[in-house]
Structure 1
Amino acid sequence: MSDFINNFWANYVAAASVVSILACALLLWLTARKRVVSSDDNTTGHVWDVDLREANNPLPLWWVGLFVITIVFGLVYLAFYPGLGAYDGKFGWSASGQYQAEVAQADKELAPVYAAYTAMPVEAIAGEARAMAIGERIFMNNCALCHGSDARGSKGFPNLTDTDWLYGGTPDKIIETITKGRVGVMPPLGAAVGGADDVRNLAQYVLSLSGSSTDSVRAALGKSKFTACAACHGIGGVGNQALGAPALNDKVWLHGFGQEAIIAMINGGKHNVMPAQEGRLTEAQIKVVASYVWGLSNKAQPAAKASN
């Protein structure tokens, strides 16, 4: 209930729970007190579909017992577990508390496993089969949703198996990216470039940087407009890893290829966010998954060699 701005819904649910349990108890009591006058054939006198009669038999004792047990269980549960608004229950249990306890227990049990990799360089960890198996599982649980199970990414999500890196592909940079996350912003530049024709000419020039097929006349006209882009992407579109600005002179297109895709980027800009894993993963886990990611596009050192 902490997601709500006040306690109304918490109190509403608590009141509804208590009233529902008490209403069940009241219903059972009233039903037990009521006596229906039956005819000589032990029916209530109600007849449906010509010959379907309602018998006046009491409820089975086992059914009544289960009903009573259910009511008592509901009251006991609300007394010991959270279910009454801000009341935490006698046990003080919570889903988040149990989760944190289980995570802490798992971290404690896995600490000896990760301890072996703490002092090892990323390049050596990437050559350790057991570490890579662990790194792959961490990747699948935390990174694959965006980058894909094969780490090849998709539109808007970088491919981690090639050598094209937005912020740098060294072990330290990969660890930094995973730990702190990244926020990439390209502002809309359509107005700065000029009219629709100017934007189209610029798109043709950007395509020409990668050796793609272009309209040479439009590309030549768009070259002067590239100054609005060069501040981030560099002269000639070489990119800038300090800013996370991708290179435009290769054939890697993160947000789509072609004139229309480039025009959409120039006019609309882009705001990409990679969430920080600090706080979700331990320092050792980050190092292991960083080693796994680094190993996808680099040749690992044999683990034995690293210990020499």
Structure 2
Amino acid sequence: MSDFTSNFWSIFISVITIGGILACLALLWISGKTKAMTLSDNTTGHVWDEDLREMNNPLPRWWVGLFIITVVFSLVYLYLYPGLGTYEGSLKWSQTGQFDREVSRGNEQAAPIYAAFSGMSTEALAKDAKAMAIGDRLFMNNCAQCHGSDARGGKGFPNLADGDWMWGGTPDKIHETIASGRTGVMPPMAAAVGSPEDVRNLAHYVLSLSSSPNDSVRSNLGKSKFTVCAACHGADGKGNQALGAPNLTDNIWVDGAGVESHIVSMINNGKTNVMPAWSSKFTPEQMNVLTAYVWGLGGGVRNPAPAPVAVAPVETASK
């Protein structure tokens, strides 16, 4: 969608572009028709450094020819490709279209490789060296920018190599996270907690949940204030993966070390973290391999076993 709300800039760009080309042609024509006043020796009378004289020689034909070719090329280019405001060009070429074609071509070339992994479970893929080598490349090219080359994350980016999962570490949940993305929201809660002292007391209670260094007096005072947090983090502070609410008892802190100032800042200001969706970037086969790679880093858990299906007893007629 165009960022402009009117066609003014489209017309402006078109006029400047076409005007520049016409001005070049006009300059070439004028320079060829204008006759400079010369002396009998074909000089203009301009002298520099005592003996350097300006000759009135015409432009070399090869230079004029290259100039005309350049102008013609620019007109042909502007007809074939976008360059005049909102005009798309007769070939309908675009960067997005070319990118999509190249990605599609690459996926077609890689399809036979991924076909070998078709039907394999996440657990089986995680044990396949070739699949994990491909998963490593997918991760390095697309995920390492945020989660690090060792997948151990950083401030604001979760560690994928441990057993702490805000949204669930089963293959199904990891696949869902990669495909659909996640948006984790910690709203500002200071107004609901109370005074600044209440916020500090609550911060110390949160620290006590993970046995982090805390002021026991403040912690006891802040315990009652935790009720405003329990709706997401649970009464015991162990979090809620359905909401992406982190476990506050395991001493793992995505957005910084567990210290009073950090927790006070989170309560006062809140935080929004976004994991983008990748379903439009990866094919289903690539998604399965990447899921297995992340799951196999060491922190994933198995999908729960399906619940047994109850079978109603069959009544038989007695003879």
Scaled by the length of structure 2, what TM-score is found?
0.88
Displacement of 1:123 after TM fit?
1.2
Match of 2:313 in 1: none
Q: CA offset at residue 21 of structure 1?
A: 1.0
SS at match of 2:47: strand
Instruction: Answer yes or no: is 1:67 the counterpart of 2:84.
Output: no
Asked if the contact 2:171–2:300 (Cα under 8 Å) also holds between the matched residues in 1, the reply is: no
1:1-308 map, 5 Å: 2-48=2-48, 51-257=51-257, 258-297=259-298
Cα RMSD for the two superposed structures: 2.0
Stretch of structure 1 that moved more, 4-13 or 199-208? 4-13
Which secondary structure state, in structure 1, belongs to the residue aligned with residue 117 of structure 2? helix
3-state DSSP class of the match of 2:185? strand
Following superposition, the deviation at residue 82 of structure 1 comes to 2.1
Shift in CA distance, 299/189, structure 1 to aligned 2, threshold 3 Å: closer
**1:299, distance to aligned residue in structure 2 (A):** 8.7
Conserved 8 A contact 2:169-2:299: no
**Structure 1 residues 267, 298: closer, same or farther in 2, change over 3 A?**
closer
Q: Is the 8 A contact 1:153 1:160 kept in 2?
A: yes
Amino acid at match of 2:184: G
State whether residues 158 and 254 of structure 2, in contact with CA within 8 Å, keep that contact through their aligned partners in structure 1: yes
Take 2:3 and 2:296, find their aligned partners in 1: how far apart are those partners? Answer: 40
> Are 1:167 and 1:243, in contact at CA under 8 Å, matched by a contact in 2?
yes
Output one character per residue of 1:23-46: Cα deviation in whole Å (capped at 9) or x when no partner: 111110000111112224432122
Superposed displacement of residue 259, structure 1:
0.7
1:237 is aligned with what amino acid?
A: G
Amino acid in structure 2 at the alignment position of 1:283 = P
* In 2, Cα distance between equivalents of 1:140 and 1:26: 54
State the AA in 1 paired with 2:287. Answer: I
SS in 2 for 1:163: coil
- One-letter amino acid of the structure 1 residue matched with residue 277 of structure 2: A
User: Cα distance 1:9–1:150, how it changes in 2: closer, same or farther (>3 A)?
Assistant: farther
Q: CA deviation at 1:55?
A: 2.7
CA contact (8 A) 1:193 1:225 kept: yes
Distance, in Å, in 2 between the alignment partners of 1:17 and 1:76 is 13
Structure 2 gaps of 5+ residues are: 303-319
Provide, for residues 221-259 of structure 1, a one-character-per-residue CA deviation record: whole Å limited to 9, x for no partner: 111111111111112311111111111111211111211
Offset at 1:285?
A: 1.3
Contact 1:127 1:300 in 2 (8 A): no
For the 8 Å contact 1:36–1:44, the answer to whether it is kept is yes
State how far apart, in whole Å, the 2-side matches of 1:223 and 1:133 are: 48
The 3 A distance-change label for structure 1 pair 194 and 253 is: same
Identity of aligned residues (%): 60
Q: What is the deviation of 1:177?
A: 0.6
**Worse-matched range after superposition: 254-263 or 98-107:** 98-107
How many residue pairs were aligned? Answer: 301
The amino acid of 1:292's aligned partner reads Y
1:245-289 deviation digits (Å, cap 9, x = unpaired):
111111211111211110000011111111111222221111111
Cα distance in 2 for partners of 1:300, 1:189 equals 32
Please give the alpha-carbon distance, in whole angstroms, between the structure 1 residues aligned to 2:47 and 2:7: 51
Q: Which has the higher contact order (CA 8 A, sep 6+)?
A: 1
CA contact (8 A) 1:123 1:300 kept: no
